[in-house]
Amino acid sequence: MAPSKSSSLLSIDCAFDFFWRGGGRSFVQKIDSNGYEDLTTSFFGPSYNFFQSARVSLSGTINGESFVVSRSRTAGASSRVSLTFLLNGMDLTRQSVKETQMLINEMLGVSSEILSRTIFHGQHAINGLLEATDARFKQELSLILPLTLWQKAAECARSKGRSLLKEVSEVDGMLAVRSEDFNTNTRKCEDARNVLREREFVLKRKEQDAQKQIEDIKSSFDALPPFEGDDNTFIEQIRNDVEEAAAEVQLCESLLDSQNSNRDQELNSMRKKIDEKNKLLNTAKLHQRDIQVEVNRREVAFNSAQDDLNKLKKKWNINDASPEAITSFTPPQICPTCKQPITEHHTHDHLKLEIKESFDAAQEIIHVSAENLSKQMKKVSPDNTKVITLEKEVEDVLSNVRQVESFWQDKISNVQHQLKSARMVYLQKSEEYSIASKRMQCKSELITIKATLAAKVKVYQESVKTARVIYNEISQTVFELDQVMSDLKAKKENTQCSSKTMSSLAANFGPRGVQTFILQNAVNALQLGSQSYLDELSGNTLHLKFELDTSDRISRTAEVLSSDGTWIGRGLSSLSGGQWRRCSLALSLAFSDLLARRGRLRSSILVLDEPLTHLDSAGRDDVGRVLRRLLHNKASEMTNEQTVQLGLGGLSVSTILIILQDLVAEELAENFDCIDEVTKTQGNSELILDGTA
């Protein structure tokens, strides 16, 4: 038979090849727990002579890949057992039988329990399903159903759910602590912000007050003339200069007083006359200066009048200001003042009259200013003459007394000059000293106030800085706590959602969920398949029922067709031997079919050990007919409708081996294609193949 092409289905097509020398106890009596491990052991009994040898080969395909497994035992006293394994022509045999066996197990990929339910059905295994306890029956069903997977999944979901609930509780505790910390720090943050604002306001006010005081003092300081060079050196130099000037003034005054006293006695009258002339001369000079000032004022007035006239000319675009030119002047179409058009005739005449009056007024002002200037200029010459005359008179008087005071004149003049210079120096130095002292005082005060205010402002700045640092630290703490709380809330929400999901999964994966569904599905499929085989094996006289009750217990009951056509419920223990065999064989075949359909293992060979026990000739015929149908109506040739209707479709065998004892070959000839017979006489075995000795 062609192997299955499904990658998830393990398909094994097998054929046996035997070689032996010597005697054995029976033909293939059993396949051990690995299904194929020791196919030769049963050939040799306790009385076996070790000079004999034997070899068993199992060849076939696994998912389309050819394989050969050979096991042999050599003859002789040092008998040795060997095991070889070839896959796709490649020899995968390992150094020891154990290692080779492990590799074969790995390549098959199925358990011994599955092999015992698919390839080889031992004598006791056939009855095992029907007589198994509920726990054992469910354990057998686990070969088909991945209930262990769902149980582990449910337990994992419950464990994960408990962990998540514990985590939610922990997160709630953390949230409570963080919430309290958040509220406390929020209040602290608000208090710190208020303190910061208050200190910033005070700092700003203090800075403004300090700046105003500094600017006031700096204005007074800047109003004083600056020093030249170092301040202290400059003030000390001025102080020395003042003292020297004062001493010089005192010396000159003493000398002048002495000389004046001597001169006054001699030239008192002449000095008086000279003083009078000098007074007259000074008066004349003052008058001359006043006249000059008036002349300058009149010139300014005259020039201003000229400028006004020029502005009128420019305004009205008139170059000639004569009366004839103004009379013939044509006013513009646009008023140069308001920039509005002049259209009416009387407006033009009125404007022309205004222009003429403006020019007349300006020329009149120029004329008056020129006359005033001329009059004032006439006064300048007499005043100048008067001043010159007085100066000449003073000079004449002085010339008259020069001979008298020639001796004293030089001395007094020198002393007076020295005294005047000394006084001017003294006044200048005194004023400079006063200004310098005031500047130094302002500077010292400015430095002191700046330092004082800077110190006060710095204190407030440090206070503001400290408050800002505290506020920023608390704000950062609040922000971090808010982030932590957001993360914890999100974590709690996700964890709660995951916990609900785990609870739902635990319920769905649990016995009341998907396990019940899967188990019920498998029970229904097994019921349908078993009944399909049982109908053929019993001639539609037996029913085998499986029910999954509310406590998840699988009840197995039988019904027997009575003579009146009604079905009578029977316990399995009350069935006859033949009925029991029919039910157990139907259940075993249905179980193998379901295993194949669920993808666990599909084999091309089927080995049955003593399947005809307790069956009469009709029962044996029914078994033979069912087995023949398995060969002639292969699962791959069944339609989907037949597969669904019969609950079959998994078994697809090309070879069926039946192991029997104590039955004559003639009784089996009608039911089986080939009959090989093993007979034992006086410790020796003989194999007759297909009726030949």
pLDDT, one tens digit per residue, over 347-367 is: 667 777 777 777 778 778 888
Q: How far is CA 371 from CA 299, 375, 376, 570, 691, in A?
A: 11, 6, 9, 164, 178
- Burial (CB < 10 A; 0-12, 13-18, 19+), residue 525, is buried
- Give how far the C-alpha of residue 236 lies from the chain's centroid of Cα atoms, to the nearest Å: 74
Bridge partners of residue 188, in order along the sequence? none
Reference 101, options 75, 74, 125, 69; nearest CA is: 69
Phi/psi for 58 (5° steps) reads -120, 115
The answer to whether 58 and 69 have CB atoms below 8 angstroms apart is: yes
Q: What is the pLDDT of residue 649?
A: 54
pLDDT band, very low/low/confident/very high, at 26 (cuts 50, 70, 90): very low
- Burial (CB < 10 A; 0-12, 13-18, 19+), residue 66, is middle
The mean pLDDT of the chain is 76
Q: What is the pLDDT of residue 18?
A: 42
Round to whole Å and give the CA distance between 47 and 45. Answer: 5
pLDDT band, very low/low/confident/very high, at 221 (cuts 50, 70, 90): low
- Which residue has 């910061």 as its token pair? 196
- CA 38-43-45 angle, to 5 degrees, is 110
Round to whole Å and give the CA distance between 439 and 232. Answer: 11
Does 333 score more than 80 pLDDT?
no
pLDDT band, very low/low/confident/very high, at 146 (cuts 50, 70, 90): low
- Give how far the C-alpha of residue 443 lies from the chain's centroid of Cα atoms, to the nearest Å: 61
Q: How far is CA 687 from CA 203, 453, 666, in A?
A: 120, 128, 16
Torsion sign, CA atoms 458, 459, 464, 470: positive
Quote the strand ranges of 550-601, DSSP E: 554-561, 567-570
Question: What is the percentage of the chain residues whose pLDDT exceeds 70?
Answer: 77
Q: What is the pLDDT of residue 332?
A: 67
- Per residue in 582-640, pLDDT (tens digit) is 998 898 888 888 888 776 677 778 888 888 888 888 888 888 888 888 876 554 455 54
- Per residue in 261-296, pLDDT (tens digit) is 877 776 677 767 777 878 888 888 888 788 888 888
Structure tokens at 366: 């120029």
The answer to whether 63 and 9 have CB atoms below 8 angstroms apart is: yes
Round to whole Å and give the CA distance between 443 and 449. Answer: 10
Phi/psi for 325 (5° steps) reads -65, -40
Q: What is the pLDDT of residue 361?
A: 81
Secondary element (H or E) of residue 58: strand 53-62
Q: What residues contact 22, with CB distance under 8 A and at least 6 apart? A: 48, 49, 51, 52, 53, 54
Pairwise pLDDT comparison (433 vs 666), residue with the higher score: 433
Round to whole Å and give the CA distance between 474 and 191. Answer: 10
- Burial (CB < 10 A; 0-12, 13-18, 19+), residue 174, is middle
- Per residue in 478-504, pLDDT (tens digit) is 899 899 989 988 988 998 898 888 888
Structure tokens at 190: 């608000």
In the chain, domain spans: 231-506
- Burial (CB < 10 A; 0-12, 13-18, 19+), residue 409, is middle
pTM for the complete prediction? 0.47
- The b-or-e profile of 537-552 (16+ CB within 10 A means b, else e) is bbeeebbbebebeeee
Q: What is the pLDDT of residue 669?
A: 64
Torsion sign, CA atoms 505, 511, 515, 520: negative
- Per residue in 154-198, pLDDT (tens digit) is 888 888 888 888 988 988 898 899 889 889 988 988 998 898 888
Q: What is the pLDDT of residue 693?
A: 44
Pairwise pLDDT comparison (73 vs 163), residue with the higher score: 163
Reference 142, options 554, 426, 419; nearest CA is: 554
Question: What is the percentage of the chain residues whose pLDDT exceeds 90?
Answer: 3
Question: What's the whole-number mean pLDDT along residues 111-140?
Answer: 76
Q: What is the pLDDT of residue 105?
A: 75
Round to whole Å and give the CA distance between 657 and 390. Answer: 175
pLDDT band, very low/low/confident/very high, at 344 (cuts 50, 70, 90): low
Q: What is the pLDDT of residue 635?
A: 44
Pick from 176-190, 278-292, 371-385, 527-541: least confident? 371-385
CA atoms within 13 A on the CB side of 29: 12
Q: What is the pLDDT of residue 328?
A: 65
- Which residue has 């359909």 as its token pair? 597
Structure tokens at 578: 């033949």
Structure tokens at 408: 């004293």
The SS3 assignment for 28 reads coil
Question: What's the whole-number mean pLDDT along residues 227-235?
Answer: 66
Bridge partners of residue 54, in order along the sequence? 20, 73
Does 10 score more than 50 pLDDT?
no
Structure tokens at 351: 């404007």
The answer to whether 429 and 241 have CB atoms below 8 angstroms apart is: yes
Question: What's the whole-number mean pLDDT along residues 306-326?
Answer: 74
Structure tokens at 531: 């009944």
Q: What is the pLDDT of residue 109?
A: 64
Pick from 205-219, 462-476, 481-495, 572-586: least confident? 205-219
Round to whole Å and give the CA distance between 626 and 620. Answer: 10
Q: What residues contact 8, with CB distance under 8 A and at least 6 apart? A: 599
Does 383 score more than 80 pLDDT?
no
Reference 583, options 531, 510, 546; nearest CA is: 531
Question: What's the whole-number mean pLDDT along residues 25-33?
Answer: 30
- Per residue in 571-593, pLDDT (tens digit) is 888 988 888 889 988 988 888 88
pLDDT band, very low/low/confident/very high, at 224 (cuts 50, 70, 90): low
Question: What's the whole-number mean pLDDT along residues 49-77?
Answer: 72
The answer to whether 66 and 88 have CB atoms below 8 angstroms apart is: yes
Q: What is the pLDDT of residue 231?
A: 64
The answer to whether 238 and 433 have CB atoms below 8 angstroms apart is: yes
Does 37 score more than 70 pLDDT?
no
Phi/psi for 690 (5° steps) reads 50, 40
Cα-Cα end-to-end distance for the chain: 30
Question: What's the whole-number mean pLDDT along residues 420-446?
Answer: 80
